[in-house]
Each structure stands twice: as structure tokens, then as C-alpha cells.
Chain A
Amino acid sequence: MWLAIAGICMFFAAFTSAYIVMESHSSWQDFKLPDMFWFSTAIIIISSFTMHLSVKSFKEHQMMRYKTLITVTALLGLLFLIGQGLGFSNMYSRGITIQWNLSAALIYIIVSAHMLHVLGGVIALFIIFARAYRRHTRTYDPVPVEVVATYWHFVDGLWIYLYIFFLLIK
């Protein structure tokens, strides 16, 4: 998983360096990021927190609380995706389409690439969620949950990095 994370880091590092290169160009036009991104940032930070708690309760073998928390995390993940989608529609309604300027195109691409990675995390959450609700399985092996948690914290951290990057570079 750490190896995959290293690969994903390179992927986004390339994107952000492309952003830096492009930004110096004369035809670059800045625009205001949708406020919705603040909302989704808050959501994903909370979800990281609930993820952490769910791993903790899994290790303490408190399965009911683990199930609740993992459900909440997955739902928050979905909510984050919806938030990003609303942010896009806000940009779109202001006439900031992908063809409008490179700045917009890069934001669209980077944010949706990140959304795809979050979606992967949500799917992983649903898989361990389905496992937790399946009867007859009483496994207390924490590794799968921990791997998903590592990934989840990573996409959270990645978004925070990206958002701070977008805010600072203007």
C-alpha cells in the first residue's frame, strides 16, 4: 500500500508541477474557487477522524461501534464526492468551463483525479463494510482495515495538500 501511495504521490506531484509551470504563462487567469470546497474539506477531515476511531474500536473488538463508524466514514466519503461535484457545478454556472482557461482545466482535472482516488477508497470501505455485516465471519485480523485506513488518511492528506496548494499559489 505504501508503494501504491508513492506512485500516486508522483502522479499528483506531476500535476502540481504542471500547474506551477502553466501558472507563469501570460494568458493564465485566476478565478475564485467555489466555497463548496471548504465544506468538503471539513467533511473529509471529519471522515479521517471517524476512520481513525473505527480502527481503534476494531482493535478493541467493539464490533457494533466499528460497524457504525465505518458506515459513517463511507457516507462522509460519498458526501465529500457530492460536495466536490457541487463545487464543479458552481464553477460551471459561473461560466468557468474546461475550455475557459488553463487554470480551470487544471483544477477540473486535478480535483476529479483526486475524486477518483477517493471513490476507490469509498469502494474499499464498502467492501470491508459488507464484510463486517456478513454473518458467520468472526475475524479479528486488523490488517485489511488498517490498509484501508492508511489509504483513507492518505487521500485526505492529499486533498489538504492540493487545496492548500491551490489557495497559496494565487
Chain B
Amino acid sequence: MSNEMNNPHQEITHPQAVAIPVPTGHETQVAEGHGIHHHEPFITKYIFSQDHKMISKQFLITGIIWATIGGFFSVLFRLQLGFPNDHFMWLHTIFGNWAPNGQFTPEAYYGLVTMHGTIMLFFVLTAGMSGTFANLLIPLQLGARDMASPFMNMLSYWIFFIASVVMFSSLFVSTGPFSGGWTAYPPLSALKDASPGSGTGGDLWLIAVLLFFISQIFAGINYISTILNMRTKGMSMSRMPLTIWGLLVTAILGLLSFPVVITGLVLLFFDKHLGTSFYLNSIYISGHALPNVGGSPILYQHLFWFMGHPEVYIVILPAMGIASEVIAINCRKPIFGYRGMVTAFFAICILAFLVWAHHMFVTGMNPYLGAFFVLLTLLIAVPSAIKVFNWIGTMWKGNIHLSVPCLFVIGFVSAFISGGLTGIWMANSAIDLDIHDTYFIIAHFHLVMGVASILGMCAGVYHWYPKMFGRKMNNTLGYIHFWITLVGAYLIFWPMHYEGLAGMPRRYYDYAAWHTFAPFEGVNTFISVVAIVVFIAQILFLFNFFYSIFKGRKETDPNPWKANTLEWTTPIHPGHGNWIGEIPEVYRWPYDYSKNGIDFIPQNVPLGPEEEIEVAKENQPQPV
């Protein structure tokens, strides 16, 4: 690998030698960038690629396809919830037996809900998010040629791809996809006869999710070892951009939590197919007692939520990292409280492993035990608040450029606050006992983790799109996409708080039998209509994204956002090795914006004479 990158171009001045904001002429760089990859055959360049940038695009595009499917499923089940009495004959045309008479059967409805959860959480917000941004940014922002193990990186994508294929195929099984909820609680998931989806659909679900976890463990090992070992000269840990800190903590969380749920799923598999009874105890199906005794379904919940809670941080932490980076760039100000941000990441990481049972307050756990989990859960509000405070602090008196990524980040902060505050409510077991399994929970986690992460991910896509494809996305479409998405998200999830407080349970197929919930009929219809509008708005994004890959305006500036981090010192079309010639050296932290009257000072610019005096002053021993 090093040969092809070092030899032919050694005489060319590389961007590091360039003085502050003046970029090297882009024409020569484009030509060089192509030159490196001239002879690469299609199959190793685009399909079985070991280039981290290509793998990142593969993760992103797979994630986008899954997001479209998952989002479409949510529109479908919202049709049932919003219009329980209407018959849409086109549903029957498309879905056949799933929707006889133009209405989804309860089984199909549960299948849609389950698939929406699994796809969105695992395939979009975990693999799509970490896979895209960790692969793209870790080597580029740290100054590495590629990941620590490019082969393992490729392997992790292709295992994820197989998982995707298995999951996708489960949608076409005659008994329907798995329909026991994304948490797959036994005994429903452990017994083939419990529901139609628990048979073949459940098996495929189990295999797909196991493969997915394995792929993410591989990826995580790679991310952590790259971050620890492959930083360029001068890039100490304390000079890493916050995106990298976020991705590092995400990978640590995944590495320590995914094996635990694999254990839980392996035991589930044994229960299902080999006659063990880890989770089964004295169950009757259609009047007959099953032979299984001695198990406990609660054990599964412990193993599952030990992964399940860190999982929500795995989803949100990369978005937090992206938000920190994008907000500093767009406010032309150093990030407020860098060390506080890093500390908060680690505080969240530790607490994430100590709070899983707050998902289980209603399982009959000892209230004294519950009290510990209440306390630890409430503690998470502290690092989260530190982060929110720092983002707002960065914006305060900043020179805010309301670019598309910046708007998405502000939307992210807003959704994170709105969803996070209700988290403090339900962390209290006394309140949770009342609102558990209601729409209040749905509103909470969609805002704080779903909407917020998606907004963060969009910010990342808009921000790093020029780096990925060398072209720009359309700004106007971006603004329209943002406003419909943000306003729509609030219109969808805000009313759900009221429904939840009124006790409306989640996962129900039809509320017609309860007079209590009759007043919410109009609200449900309203939510469904907004959901359809928001889904259509995402088509704008899809169009913008795919059209711009081929026809977008060509990026001519290697550093379009005037950012400090190293990825913008590479050519517009970086080859497999990222930098032509030597890797730049790092002399400063990544947030020197508006310092000493200079708009931005990239990390690879050596300290000026004034700054050296400052540093010397700081290092002087203080008089005691």
C-alpha cells in the first residue's frame, strides 16, 4: 500500500506546507487524486474495497436504503393507526395477504412495527451511523492512511451486508417477518407457535441480528485500535476532534455490550430449536402445557437491556460528536468546554452500563434495587446537560452561519433537549410504573434518540458530502428538507406525550374498543398525515443525495467549510492513502477559530511566534 502512495509523488508539495487559508490549486490535485487509482479494477474499487472511504459510502448507502424501507414501514402502520376504519385497496394490490380488504392484518401490523424498530435502530442508526462516519472520519481526521486492519473493515461491511440480505429476505416469508417487537422478548420469540412471525421470520431475524452484532464488534475493534495507534505525529489524544472522541466511546460501548446480547440471543436460539428452557417456565399453548420448566424470561430482559441501553448511546454519541464539530465550524468559535465534552462522553459511557434495569421497573423487581437504577439514571442528566450547555455556549455570541448542516445541528440540540427532559420524568420508577409502555415512552425515545440522531446524521451527510463525493448537494432542497423534517418531527411526537399521559398503550392495533381513547382519534389521524408528509420530504433528500453524486455542482475548494481538521487538507478526490506525499503533522487542537483575529487556523499549521510565547507562559511553573 505504501509504495503506490509514496513513490510517484514525493516531489510534489503537499498541503501541509501551505500557509494558512490559501488552498493549493485544485486542478493539479484532482489530476493526482485520479492518478493514484488509475489501474484499480471495478470489483476491488467499488465492491470488495478495502479503502475506508469506499466502505464508508457503502455503509451510508446501505443505511439510506434501510432508512427508506424502515421509514416506509412506519408510514404503513401509521395508516392503520390514523385511519383504523378505512380500506385502502392499493395496499391489497401491493401487499396481497398482508392487507386483505385494504387493511393490514394484526399480524402484518406487528411485523411492520417490529421491522421498523429493528431496521431503524440497528441497521440505520448503528451500522449506518457509526459505519459511515467512523470509517470516513477516523483515518481522515487523525491523519492515517487507512484503518488499522482494512481487511477486517471490509469483512465487517460484508457481514453486515449478509445480515441485511437475511433480514430483507424475512420480509418475503409466507408467514410474515418476525413480529414480536424489536426487543424480541421470550416467550413470544422463543416459541415457534406463539405467533405466525415467530416461526421462520423469527429465525431469520435472529440470524440477521446475530450477524449484525458480529459485524459491529469487528468494526468496533478496528475503530478503537485505529484511534489508539494510528494518529499522525502531533495528534495527541487531547488534540483529537470531538467527532473522534464520540466515535471512540461509541466503539467502546459496542465492544462491551454486544457480546452480552449475543449470549442472550444464543440462549434464545437454544430455547427455540434445541428444547432447552432458559427463558421458558410452565407455559400453556392452546390448552397444552409445554414441558419446559425452570427458565426465566426476565433473564433475557437483563441480557438484552444490558446491550439495549448502551445501544441508545451508540446511536446518539456519534451524532453528538458530529454536532460538536459542525457547530464550532459554523459559529466560527472554538468549541465551548472541550475537556468537559470529553469527560461527559466518558461519564455517559460508564453510566450507560449501570442503568439497564430502568427498562424493567415493571418486571416486579425489588423497589430498593429500582431506587439505585433511578439514581444512576438521573445522573445521566448531568453529562447530557453539560453537553447541551456547551453546544449552546458555543453558539452564544458566535458568528453563526446558518448553513444546512448547522441548521440540522441546531435541530439536533433542540430535539435532544425536548426528548431528554422527559427522560428525567420516566427515570423515576414511580412515574415510570404509570407511563410504562404508553405513547409517552414512544415520544421520549423517538425525540431524544431517533429524531436527534437522524438530524445529527443528516448534518454529517450534508457537511462531509463534498469530502465523500467531491460534489455539493443542493442547498435549497436541503433547507426544505430540514424545515419539514424538524417541524414534522415535533408535530408527530409532541401529541404523543399527551396520549401517553392519558394512558394510551403502545403496540395496540386498534383503539376502537376503549372509550377512554376515543378523543385521540383525531390526533392519531393528524399524526399519520404529518408522518406521510415528512416521509415525502425525505424523498427530496434521497433525490438530492443520489442526483448530486452524479450531477451535483463540482466542489472546487478543498476546504469548503473553512474547517481546521485534517480531512480538508487532502485533495478533493483523495486516493486510497488520503494524502499525497507525507501525512501532515499536527501542531494544535482542532478548534482554533477566530483566534488572534484569524478566522481559522488548520491543525497542521505550526504555532506562530506569539502563540509560542503564550504556550511558554502557560507552561511556566506557577508561584506557590
Contact = CB atoms under 8 A, between A and B. Distances in A.
Interface of A: 3-4, 6-8, 10-11, 13-15, 18, 21-22, 25-28, 98-99, 101-102, 105-106, 109, 113
Contact of B255 (A3, A22, A27, A101): A3
B266 A109 contact: yes
Interface in B430-447: none
A27 B260 contact: no
19 contacts: A3-B220, A7-B217, A7-B259, A8-B259, A10-B256, A11-B263, A14-B306, A18-B267, A18-B299, A22-B278, A25-B296, A27-B294, A98-B275, A99-B274, A99-B276, A102-B276, A102-B277, A105-B276, A106-B278
A98 B296 CA distance: 17
B567 to A, nearest CB: 25
Contacts of B303: 14, 18
B579 interface: no
B225 interface: yes
Contacts of B293: 27
A50 to B, nearest CB: 28
Interface residues of B, number: 30
A6 B255 contact: yes
Contacts, number: 75
Most buried by B among A3, A4, A98: A3
A8 B214 CA distance: 12
A113 B262 CA distance: 12
A12 to B, nearest CB: 8
A99 B221 contact: no
Contacts of B221: 3-4, 7
Contacts of A105: 270, 276-278
B259 A11 contact: yes
Name the 8 nearest CB pairs between A and B, nearest first.
Answer: A11-B259, A27-B294, A14-B263, A105-B276, A14-B260, A10-B259, A99-B275, A3-B221
A3 B296 contact: no
A18 B263 contact: yes
A85 B518 CA distance: 62
Contacts of B274: 98-99
Contacts of A4: 221
B257 interface: yes
Most buried by B among A6, A11, A14, A26: A14
Given A6-B255, A13-B260, A98 B276 contact: yes
B225 A102 contact: no
Interface in B217-238: 217, 220-221, 224-225
B197 to A, nearest CB: 25
B3 to A, nearest CB: 19
Interface in B253-284: 255-260, 262-264, 266-267, 270, 274-278
Nearest to B294: A27
Contacts of A8: 259
B259 A101 contact: no
Nearest to A28: B294
Given A7-B221, A14-B303, A102-B276, A21 B296 contact: yes
